[in-house]
Amino acid sequence: MESAILQQEALRQVSDALHHSRSKDGLERRLQEIVSENFAALDKAYEQKFQELRNIVSGTPSELIGNTRAMQEVERQIRQIANSEAVVLIRGAAGTGKEHTARTIHTLSERNGKPFVILNCDSLNAGEGINSLDSELFGYERGAFTGATARHLGKAEQASGGTLFIDEVADLSLSAQTKLLQFLQDRKFARLGSNIVQNANVRIVASTGKDLEKLMQQGLFREDLYYRLNIFQIKLPELSQRKTDILLLADHFIGKMNLKYGKHILRLSTPAIDMLMSYHWPGNVRELENCIEHACLATTDVSINAYDLPPTLQTDVTSGTSLIPEGPAALSTLLRSYEREILMEALRRNSGNLSAAGRDLQVSPRMMHYKVKKFGLEAHEK
């Protein structure tokens, strides 16, 4: 699209030059200027596009996607705190984009270009040895404990000069919380099996999807660690609270999957949009991305149709898209709902092919056309 616009502009300029140049030398100079200017503009446009593609492939975060007030506030907070060295606590349910937010903070900070390292607290062992907080955060020397067959650099050392993202910090045991608190206070550490103390030059960003205040009341999370982490808090909204962003996110993920799988999907069909908008998204943005990836792989068209979406979006009672009504209902209502579900399942099984679905159900093409129109379903002839 960009190259076509530049080409049209170049042709317009050439046409003007041919009509207004008074000499051959003047025309040649003008044509050289036109070529030079438009090649420069085209190079810039291509570089911008290549950078977008590189960001998608590498996972580098770009601008946060969303026009809702909640997401605008998140973006404002990120820009406000990015260049600070203050500890940031990102809170939000699973799949809301806590890691993406942390990466964006890192990208916008002066530490950009240095490592961004993740410490996954939910995968750490409560005791000692490999996969404990000590071994993963501080590292260890060969022979430090059973199974330490080689030197291992901890996350604090790997992240030197950059950002250390402590993911799901509430999953740490109380003993591990004590060690983390000491590290945050002193910013010093030593590999297990070594007496050499090192300074930790890292920016700390932590995250949790749990209620830390409730955990503190239950004695499961240290109050002093809470206050050490909760210096600047960013709360991420759930996708169900920002439904007007769903289509923006879906378009972004379609572009990402087009690149990943070599597809050329252009749009979502209207029934697919209705289904996305009516679903309750318990898995938040991550579930939406997985859903779009599934649909991109399932579709054989340039659009994503309703039957390309995962079954969870099409039959889940809690989503508000259940085909069979809950509770008491008239027999005619139940029969109509059941008939619609049978038709949708047949269409889904045959990728929306109306004729193939009709053969499965032993229904004539004329009757299938009538039924599809009656229930407002999505189907095609081929």
Q: β-strand 188-189 against 267-268: which pairing, if any?
A: unpaired
Q: Inform me whether the pLDDT recorded for 350 exceeds 50.
A: yes
Q: Give whole-number Cα distances, 238 to 31, 71, 230, 268, in Å.
A: 55, 10, 20, 22
**Residue 276 CB coordination number (10 Å):** 24
Tens of pLDDT, residues 178-208: 999 999 999 999 999 999 999 999 999 999 9
Of 180, 210, 186, 215, which Cα lies nearest the Cα of 198?
A: 186
Q: β-strand 152-153 against 139-140: which pairing, if any?
A: antiparallel
Q: Inform me whether the pLDDT recorded for 361 exceeds 90.
A: no
Per cent of the chain over pLDDT 70 is 79
Tens of pLDDT, residues 14-40: 667 666 666 666 666 766 776 677 666
Tens of pLDDT, residues 234-264: 999 999 999 999 999 999 999 999 988 989 9
198 with 190: CB under 8 angstroms? yes
pLDDT of amino acid 316: 47
Q: Inform me whether the pLDDT recorded for 290 exceeds 50.
A: yes
Q: Which residue has the higher pLDDT, 60 or 19?
A: 19
Q: How confident is the model at residue 318 (pLDDT cuts 50, 70, 90)?
A: very low
Q: Which residue has the higher pLDDT, 113 or 379?
A: 113
Q: How confident is the model at residue 329 (pLDDT cuts 50, 70, 90)?
A: low
Sequence spans of domains, the chain = 2-58, 69-237, 243-322, 323-382
Phi, psi of 13 (to 5 degrees): -65, -40
246 with 56: CB under 8 angstroms? no
Q: Inform me whether the pLDDT recorded for 310 exceeds 50.
A: yes
Per cent of the chain over pLDDT 90 is 53
Fold of 243-322: Helicase, Ruva Protein; domain 3 (1.10.8)
Tens of pLDDT, residues 171-181: 999 999 999 99
What's the CA gap between 41 and 300, in Å, rounded?
Answer: 36
pLDDT of amino acid 312: 82
Q: Residue 8 is inside which H or E element, if any?
A: helix 2-20
- In sequence order, what are the residues at sequence separation of 6 or more whose Cβ sits closer than 8 angstroms to the Cβ of residue 237? 68, 70, 71, 74, 92, 96
Fold of 69-237: Rossmann fold (3.40.50)
Mean pLDDT score of the chain: 84
pLDDT of amino acid 317: 40
Model pTM score: 0.72
Q: Which residue has the higher pLDDT, 371 or 284?
A: 284
Q: How confident is the model at residue 380 (pLDDT cuts 50, 70, 90)?
A: confident
- In sequence order, what are the residues at sequence separation of 6 or more whose Cβ sits closer than 8 angstroms to the Cβ of residue 154? 135, 136, 137, 138, 139, 140, 189, 191
Residues 95-102 have a mean pLDDT of 95
Do domains 69-237 and 243-322 share one topology? The answer is no
Q: Inform me whether the pLDDT recorded for 51 exceeds 70.
A: no
216 with 76: CB under 8 angstroms? no
Residues 260-272 have a mean pLDDT of 89
Under CATH, to which class is 323-382 assigned?
mainly alpha
Q: How confident is the model at residue 63 (pLDDT cuts 50, 70, 90)?
A: low
221 with 170: CB under 8 angstroms? yes
pLDDT of amino acid 213: 97
Q: Which residue has the higher pLDDT, 343 or 137?
A: 137
Q: Which residue has the higher pLDDT, 137 or 365?
A: 137
